[in-house]
A and B are shown apart, each in its own frame.
Chain A
Amino acid sequence: GDSVTQTEGQVALSEEDFLTIHCNYSASGYPTLFWYVQYPGEGPQLLFRASRDKEKGSSRGFEATYDKGTTSFHLRKASVQESDSAVYYCALSDNYGNEKITFGAGTKLTIKP
């Protein structure tokens, strides 16, 4: 079955640090890949998605590039802010109409002022 692996369970950084959260996936065919962000007490919000190899998704200074060769979709941001503190989820949809999205375990990002 499909799976999504986020390497980091928790990340602690200072403001203006560079962020990388690693995401690797396993799926057949050409899945659509997503990054969602979840703030405490709220539902997840879509950051962005990508559907094709080498496609870059971006939003609010965050970006990730779909890499079919390495089956990765790593999240990066050049300079984090305290307001970026949240849980980030990598997810995939296999696009075969079975209505299932598979989420990674999530990465809790804490930014110290």
Chain B
Amino acid sequence: AQTIHQWPVAEIKAVGSPLSLGCTIKGKSSPNLYWYWQATGGTLQQLFYSITVGQVESVVQLNLSASRPKDDQFILSTEKLLLSHSGFYLCAWRRRDWGEGTQYFGPGTRLLVL
């Protein structure tokens, strides 16, 4: 069975400080991976996706970047946090099959920027 882990579970950070959030998928080789952001009480906004190691596509920038250093790992980061970065960050994966669009989400990381 596939499992998806996100770390950390929650963070409180200062404006202007750096950030690194991680996501690991176990039990599934070569998944497509995604980062989403969700404001409190808001809908899900897709930020990035990656089909293969080393390749990341941006959907919405929000002054964030993403990398995929390993097949099972997806990293979201920024060098300088803004207040607007507060929210819930979700990693998701899906099978790399044509037409199989279902994405499965991780437990999320809650970020508060002060």
Contact = CB atoms under 8 A, between A and B. Distances in A.
Interface stretch (B11-19, B43-51, B64-72, B78-86): B43-51
Interface residues of B, number: 23
A48 B103 CA distance: 11
A82 B67 CA distance: 41
Interface stretch (A14-22, A64-72, A73-81, A96-104): A96-104
Contacts of A42: 107-108
Nearest to B48: A99
A43 B102 contact: no
Contacts of A34: 101-102
Given A89-B43, A103-B44, A106-B43, A44 B102 contact: no
14 contacts: A34-B101, A41-B108, A43-B90, A43-B105, A43-B106, A43-B107, A43-B108, A49-B101, A89-B43, A99-B32, A99-B34, A99-B57, A100-B59, A101-B46
Given A43-B106, A93-B101, A99-B57, 8 more contacts: A32-B102, A42-B108, A44-B90, A89-B44, A93-B102, A99-B49, A103-B43, A104-B43
Interface of A: 32, 34, 41-46, 49, 51, 89, 93, 95, 97, 99-101, 103-106
